[in-house]
Structure formats: structure tokens, C-alpha cells
Structure 1
Amino acid sequence: MSRKIELPTAAEMKKFHNQSQRRTFLSRLSMPQRLTLGFLSVITVGALLLMLPFSYNGDMGHSFMDALFTATSAASVTGLTVVNTATHWTIFGQIVIMCLIEIGALGFMSFSVLLFTATRRKMNLRDKMMVQEVYNLESLYDTRAVFGYVIKLSIIIQIVGAILLTPFFVHDFGIKRGLFYAVFHAVSAFGNAGFSILPAGDMAYANQPWILLIIAALIIAGSLGFLVWRDVLLYRHSHKLTLHSKLALVMTGALIIGCWLLFELTENNLAIAPHLSGFNRVANTLFMSISYRTAGFSQFSFSQMAPATILLTIMMMYIGGTPGSTAGGIKTTTLGVLLLKTHAALRGKKDVTFAHRRLTNENISRSLLLIFVSLLFLGVLSFLLMLTQGTDSKYGLEYIIFEVVSAFATAGLTLGLTPHLNIFGQCVIMLTMFIGRVGVYTVMFSILNVHSDHAPYQYPEESVIIG
């Protein structure tokens, strides 16, 4: 007895062909390319949500470029805005911004791994390599364990922060609005995003040091990096820290204390807020040293600050936070490696050591390359911005350099240029924020599709004169 064989229909064949093409396209993408496309997708969805009529108040219409700029700033945890976050957006729009900050802070890969864990699916090698790219892991074996710490620690820190902020905001704005303000600013501070929805902005609490100190603690928690926190929390069991954590903690502490003292020097008369004195003054300058480097919350106007303060802020923003954290910049460990290399070279030592360990040549080369590429990148984008924005004499060189460095470091501070950017200027800053969050190396590898290439031969070695 013969069996009737059913052949697939034309529609089924077309669907199968399309699915195969999509799988082939995705399989051709490198890990950095997947990461970059994923982040672009998050930004696009966020911009479309912000274009909905119930995302903004009344007749306060805005262009798609404004929505795209806001979504890019939120997803890249920067904080630069072309519209007032507190008055322009409705509660729904502010919730969209808060969700984008959360995704940008933890990385969209965190939510992918959370989905894997919830559905008990196993991560393949490609997924684990993407995780390694996001969090700069040295190995792949503990990928799921790392994300367990990332999710749990992030939720706990933000909940504690929101609880500590709640009494202050509820006292000023009532229960419903106060609770939302507490949650929003806990998320924004931990994500080092710098977004504020307070009616008077960050300046409202310059005279309330305890609020500043709570937000500063959340900023530090986010900027230290998840791997450092894991090492610190496991220290009581392991009684040791990795070299990365040691260097990150030393550099973070040195930068906070050093910049705090320098701000006391540059703003010795504190002309920006002459009414502050005693503990309030100390808390405010400490907050400046913490927030200006990574987060972008500012309780004072930069128009009142000394030029030395502005220059110091640019240098701080360029350094940024720790690798694998919610902050941007070239990272504290990069600066630490270069300082150690400089110290060793000046003393005539070939090896670069720290905490009884010798740093690899790859570490040093990667740090030097990052510094060079980032400075080249900042120079090119500053030049492009000057071609269009530099025609306005009101916004000179310092405004543009400050804006570009702030966007690259995802710090979110501005001298006042952001709302006055034209379309081309907005595109330049959006590109800068995107690269600053995803990472210079990730974007470079996405474009160039870099892969290891071991040549079977070597050319003769020769030196050139330096200096």
C-alpha cells in the first residue's frame, strides 16, 4: 500500500527560506556586531515609545530626533537632554526613560541571560562570548554565576537606595509622587545616568547633604563594576581580591579624594553657593568629586564655576568609572595601568608590577591603544561639531569640547549647549554617547570585523627615534 507524500506549499517553502536566511545572517555577525545591533534595537524601540501621544504632556510636541536623542541618552546612561525631563514627559514617558536607563545600566545581555535562567535554557558558546564581551570577563566558565550577582546585587542596591530616598521625597511631594521620584532617582543614580525629574532639578537639594550622600553612594555602587562588588562580597570566604579589583578600588578611592581636595581648592570661596557652610559645603564638594566623574548630577550651574573647575571636570569625565560598570570613560584601571607603566619606565624597570603581580604586555598595549583611539575619536567629533555649532560665538571651544567629552564618558554634564544643538550636532552627540556606552573596542571590531591573524613570518626589528 503506497503512502501519499505531501510536498510543502510555496508559502511554507518561502517561510523556511526566509528563516534560513535570517539564521545565516545572524551566524555571520561577530559578537561585537551583535552587541551593537542589540543596543541600536533598544534605542529605536525606546524612541518609538516616546513618540506616542501619551508619552509627553499636552501640546508639548517634539520631533522624532528629540525622542531618538532622549532614548539614546537614556540607554547609554548619559543624561544629556534636549527637552526638560521633568516637565516635557508624562509619567509613562518617564517610566520609558527609567526602563531604558535600567537596560543601559545592566546591559541588554543581562536581560537575555535572565530569560535563559527563567526558561532553564542552556547558553551556547556564542551567547557566553557575548556576555564576556559586555563584562570584560577573562573566562567563560562563570558566566551564569556572574549574572546571578549582577541581577541580585543591582536590584538590592536600587531598592535600598529608593527606601533611603523615600522619606525625603514623600515629605516634599506626597506619597505617590514621592515614591516614584525615589525609585526613578535610585535607578538613575545607580545607572550613573544623571536624569532627574525633580521640578527644580538637582539644584533643589544642594542644601540637603543627606540626599546628596545617598545619591553619591548609589553612584559609587554603580561605577565600581559588578566584578569588583562580587570580589568584595566574597572576600570573607576567599580572603583575597583579584588584581583588577585591587587596582579599581585604589584608583576609585584616589580619584574621589583627590578630586574632592582639588574642588575645595578651585572653589575655595564656593561662589557658586555662598550660603553653604560647614558640613553642607564639604558634602557638596564631595558630591561634585563623585558625580561629575561618572553620573552627571549637578547641584550647581557651571556658568558660575571657575575655569579651573571646568577643566578638572573635563579630565574627570574622560577617566570615568570601572570596566564592567554602569559608567563610561576610558576607565579607572586604564589610567592605573598607564600610571604604573610610567612609574616603571621612569625608574628604568622593564616589568610593570602592582600588588606583587606583573602586568601583561597585552594589558599595557590595550591601554595605550584605548587612549590613542579615544583621543583621536574625540578630536574628530569635536571638529565636526565645531563646523556647525562653532558659528555661534556664544558657544565657544570649551562648550564643544566639554559636550563631546561628557557624551563620550556618558557623564551627562553640559555647559548649556545641548538644548541648542542643530540636527547634525544632535547626530554627532548621539553617535558619541552610543560609542561611549557600547565601547570603543566593540564599535571598532563591529565595523572592521577584526579577527586574530598570526602571520607565518616576522620582519626584522628596528627602532625609530622617539621624543
Structure 2
Amino acid sequence: MQREKETMKKLAKLSIFNTLSKKMVWGFILIIFLGSLLLSLPIATSHQQGTALIDILFTAASATCITGLTVVNTATHWSLFGQVVILGMAEIGALGYMTFAVLLFNIIRRHRSMGLSTQLMVKESLNLENLSDTKSVMKYVIGLSAVFQLGGVGLLAVDFIPRFGWKRGLYVSVYHSVMSFCNAGFDVFGDSLMRFRNDSYVLLVTIVLIVGGGLGFLVWRDLLLYHERKRLSLNSKLTLTTTGTLFVLGFVILLVTEGNLSGLLGDHMSWVNRTINTLFLSVTPRTAGIVTLPTNSLHSGSIFLIMILMFVGGTPGSTAGGIKTTTFGVLMLQSIAQLRGREDVEFSHRRFSQANISRALLLVFLASIVITLATLVLTQTEKIPQGYGLEYIVFEVLSAFGTVGLSLGLTPHLTVIGKVIIMILMFVGRVGIFTSLYALSKRQPKVSRLRYPEENILIG
């Protein structure tokens, strides 16, 4: 009887999640559609030049999914209006459209009450654990986003205004601050940040914005409230540990594989600047997609490392994509526990539930299937240039799935089918595999009263 009650509760939760998933998916589709309509206007392009429908949809999907992969140059193809539309879609996509819906609702109604359905949508949109967290986390999402982005504008303006003048300098400061915090790779310079590779100040500010957006709002809330609570949640501890480990390992490996960029940037650049560029290179695969040097000029070992970092991505409830650091951390701890012969997976004097571990394994398995199928299709539709191998396609697939925006050069030359595949990958990477699958599922979960005998098979 007790087992049946628990099963019914799980089925009820799955049914609610199914409904919310469909609303979330259609919400993002609506944003892409509205953004495409705005980008199709003649005023959206420079010199009133037309844009192919598939390219408009691709740009809108890339902006809403905060990826940054582009088939046209953002700085030269789109007008000021078009660039602002892309900026708005990236902001909405990064923070979640429900954040803006609730914010607008509160402004109009002038109070902070939210209905149960709205709270459930916010909970799912921001990957919250408890429904009671929705109101408090909403404040941190909006507040932290404003602080980081406005702070970024002020810090970048110190460099950009003297360089470009007040009007242009302030505009590029706003654009670059928003795109960096949102972990989107769009830029209005035409060459990302390649012209600023000698400007350590701009690179360091950008690194702070990228890490700030990719760390996750729940983690930032824990850090800001640490002086009151005197503790961090298990989620925050695992996130910080995994993020720090990947950050340090990535930086050290890139120092070795690229020789601190001495081969690419030469001896004319100081050791300090080359080190900061290497540091930047280790941060941007966290789904930022901003570069200071061509990705296709990197050593094959560096490209392979970047592909791994793109697959892992950032933190749940952040502006980053990928399978997320917590998923990677749980599976690493699970592997270590199994190798040591331990039954429980422990971290920081806590034990992970089997449901957590099973969900992480399922997520990685489904992500691998999606990436494999997409790669298989693209090998048939896209042409691999001479001098490249399968990494030319796999890199783009991982970049799209992880909503990163880095490229080896395939995206501008994609066929129509290739663009559709990349758009689907960006959408699934931003919305989430589980959310996408539940949204597509038309079957309602059923309770099974029959359990077969348990038996083991050979593994490995």
C-alpha cells in the first residue's frame, strides 16, 4: 500500500512536469518566432538588404538559446535595430522567459503575488528544488543580473568610451556586458574580442562576467547568504568544487598543449598577456563562445579539451548549457565510490540519492545519443574541408548542444538541413533534454502493479 501511494505521487509529479514542459517549450518557440518576425523587417538589416528565412530563424534560435553560432556577421549584416533585437532575445533566453513574464506581471499588478501555476513554471524554468524558493530566487535572479550587467557596463565603459567615443563606447559596453554575462557569443566588433587580446583589462572583466553568469543563481544566493546561514547547500558545494577543478585543470592543460600560446601569439606579446589569454581560453568553453584567437588555429589536444569542457558546460539554473557541472560531479563521485567498493556515493558528509545518480546517468546517455545522431546526419549533409577530420563536425555539434558558440568554421557554410539540425541542438541544449522529451511525449505515465524477479547480467 505504501509503495502504491509513493508511486501515485511520483506519477502526479510526472504529469505536472509533462504539462509544464510543454508550456516551457512553446514559450521558447514563441520567443524565437517573435524574434524572427522582428529580424525579418527591412529595418533589421544594414543597407536594407534581405535575409534568407532559414538564416533569420537560425539567428533567432541562436540568440534565444544564448549560443552565439552565426551564419551571418552580426556586426556588419544586422542594423542597430537588428542587433538590439538579438540582444533582447539573448537576455530573455538567458534569464528564462518566465522571469520576464513574472517581472512584467508584478509591474502591472504592482504586487508580488504569484499563482501556483506561475510558481511551478518559475520553479521548472530556473531548475529549483523546492516550490517555496521561487519568490526569493526570483529576487536574486533579477537583482544579480542587474548588478553584474550594469557593473560590467561601467567597467567596460572605462576602456571602450576613450577608445570609441561616448555613443559607440557606451553601446558596445552594454552589448558586450550583456552577452558575456548571458554566456552568448554574439558581438558587434565583427571579430569577437580578437582585437583586444592585448587588452588584459577587458579580458579580465569579461572572464568575471562569464563566470558570474555560468555559476548559477542558486549558488550566488548561497554565497551571498553565507554570513547568515554559515553553511552552503550540497548543490553549491558540488558546483564550486567541480567548477574550480575543471577551471584549474583546463587552464593547466592549455598551458601545456599551447605552450602558453607562444606559438600563436609570438614573443612580441608579454608573458602576462599570453597567460591571461590562456586563462580566457579555459573559461570561454563554459558556454560563452567569445574568443581572442581563431579556434581552428589551436593544437588538436586543445580542441579535444575544449570539446570536453563544452559537453560538461556550466551550472544548473545558470545562463550556461551542457550536461552541467553537478551531473559531471555526481558521476565522477559515483565512479570513485564504485572503484573503492563503496555502496553509497558521498560528498561533504552527505549521501546522494539513487534517484540523483540515475537521473545523471540517464542525462548523459540521452545527451550522447542526441550528439551521436546529429553528428551522423551532419556527416552526410556537410562537406569536411581538406585538412580536417570528424572533429570539424563533432566540435560544432557539441558547441550547439552546449550553447557555447565556438566554431571551427562549419556554421557559416551549413546546408539547410545542417542549419535545422544545429537549431534543434541549440534548442534542446537550452531548454534541456528532459524538458524537451516530456514536451514531445503524448503518453501519460501509468502505474505498473507488476514487478518481475530481479536478476543480474555480466557488465564489462
- The TM-score, its normalising length taken from structure 2, stands at 0.93
In structure 1, the gaps of 5 or more residues are 1-26
Structure 1 position 357, deviation (Å): 0.4
Structure 1 position 123, deviation (Å): 2.5
1:66 lines up with 2:55 in the alignment? yes
Structure 1 position 396, deviation (Å): 3.9
Tell whether the 8 Å contact from 2:73 to 2:190 is kept in structure 1 after alignment: no
1:45 lines up with 2:34 in the alignment? yes
- In structure 2, the residue corresponding to 1:160 is in which secondary structure? helix
Tell whether the 8 Å contact from 2:363 to 2:433 is kept in structure 1 after alignment: yes
Of the candidates 409, 433, 436, which is equivalent to residue 426 of structure 2? 433
- In structure 2, the residue corresponding to 1:201 is in which secondary structure? coil
Of the candidates 112, 120, 145, which is equivalent to residue 129 of structure 1? 120
Structure 1 position 116, deviation (Å): 3.1
Give the match for residue 400 of structure 1.
393
1:249 lines up with 2:246 in the alignment? no
1:306 lines up with 2:299 in the alignment? yes
Q: In structure 2, how many angstroms separate the alpha carbons of the residues matched to 1:43 and 1:334? A: 28
Bigger Cα displacement from structure 2, 264-273 vs 331-340: 264-273
Structure 1 position 449, deviation (Å): 4.5
- Label 1:415 to 1:364 Cα distance change in 2 as closer, same or farther (>3 A): same
Structure 1 position 337, deviation (Å): 0.1
Structure 1 position 458, deviation (Å): 1.3
Q: In structure 2, how many angstroms separate the alpha carbons of the residues matched to 1:129 and 1:156? A: 26
Q: In structure 2, how many angstroms separate the alpha carbons of the residues matched to 1:401 and 1:235? A: 41
Q: In structure 2, how many angstroms separate the alpha carbons of the residues matched to 1:324 and 1:266? A: 32
Task: Indicate the RMSD between aligned Cα atoms, in angstroms.
Answer: 1.6
Q: In structure 1, how many angstroms separate the alpha carbons of the residues matched to 2:102 and 2:351? A: 34
1:111 lines up with 2:100 in the alignment? yes
Query: Which amino acid is the alignment partner of residue 34 of structure 1?
Result: K
Alignment: residue pair count: 441
Q: Deviation digits for residues 80-136 of structure 1, max 9, x if unmatched?
A: 000111111111111101101100110001012212322136433222222221122
Give the match for residue 416 of structure 2.
423
Give the match for residue 226 of structure 1.
217
Give the match for residue 163 of structure 1.
154
In structure 2, the gaps of 5 or more residues are 1-15
Hey, which bits of structure 1, 4+ residues long, moved more than 4 A?
391-395, 449-452
Please say which structure displays the higher CA radius of gyration.
1
Higher relative contact order by CA 8 Å / sep ≥ 6: 1 or 2?
2
Give the match for residue 321 of structure 1.
314
1:344 lines up with 2:337 in the alignment? yes
Tell whether the 8 Å contact from 2:384 to 2:392 is kept in structure 1 after alignment: no
1:446 lines up with 2:439 in the alignment? yes
Query: Which amino acid is the alignment partner of residue 183 of structure 1?
Result: V
1:333 lines up with 2:322 in the alignment? no
- The TM-score, its normalising length taken from structure 1, stands at 0.92
Give the match for residue 13 of structure 1.
none
**Identical-residue share of aligned pairs (%):** 47
Give the match for residue 9 of structure 2.
none
Structure 1 position 303, deviation (Å): 2.6
Q: In structure 2, how many angstroms separate the alpha carbons of the residues matched to 1:32 and 1:77? A: 19
Structure 1 position 433, deviation (Å): 0.4
Q: In structure 2, how many angstroms separate the alpha carbons of the residues matched to 1:139 and 1:110? A: 17
Give the match for residue 178 of structure 2.
187
- In structure 2, the residue corresponding to 1:196 is in which secondary structure? coil
Q: In structure 1, how many angstroms separate the alpha carbons of the residues matched to 2:387 and 2:271? A: 36
Query: Which amino acid is the alignment partner of residue 155 of structure 1?
Result: A
- Label 1:427 to 1:140 Cα distance change in 2 as closer, same or farther (>3 A): same
Query: Which amino acid is the alignment partner of residue 327 of structure 1?
Result: A
Give the match for residue 455 of structure 2.
462
Query: Which amino acid is the alignment partner of residue 50 of structure 1?
Result: L
Structure 1 position 450, deviation (Å): 6.4
